[in-house]
Amino acid sequence: MQIDKQLAKDLDKATKKIIYDSYKGLVSAAAKIELEVKKEVPVDHGRLKSSYHIENSRTSSFNYKNNNGESFDGGLNVPLEDGELAIGSHTNYAENIETFGGKNEKGKDAVRNAIDNVDLIDEIKRFVKK
């Protein structure tokens, strides 16, 4: 059975749009996770909070400053394929804050809680239209 050329073209276009719109939903969810984490982590000099960011397959570095104006390169150095994202911090103490928290346990489980609180499917649905 031969598929009509126009139908094949339309299907290809629709598929590409669904993939693109799904990726926009993924980016939106990642941005919400990043924002929630930044609200929860403890702030002393602001380095940890400023270091959390999103990377994709085209990200090669991430420069940021703490509250004292000191600059850092915070690239995650995570190999990513097209369509993949990573959210994180390169600081050597981010994992300790996530696991144990800072003063009064502030920041404990911030990343895990942010991921749990953002509904990825709902974010994708917001961008993929019928």
- Token pair belonging to 20: 């693109």
pLDDT in tens, 61-76: 899 999 999 999 999 9
Give 55-64 pLDDT, tens digit per residue. 999 988 899 9
What residues pair up with 63 in beta bridges, in sequence order? 73
Rounded distance, CA 36 to CA 32, Å? 6
pTM, two decimal places: 0.85
Angle at 88 between CA 55 and CA 70, to 5 degrees: 95
Structure token pair of residue 66: 């703490």
Structure confidence by residue, pLDDT tens digits, 9-50: 999 999 999 999 999 999 999 999 999 999 999 988 999 999
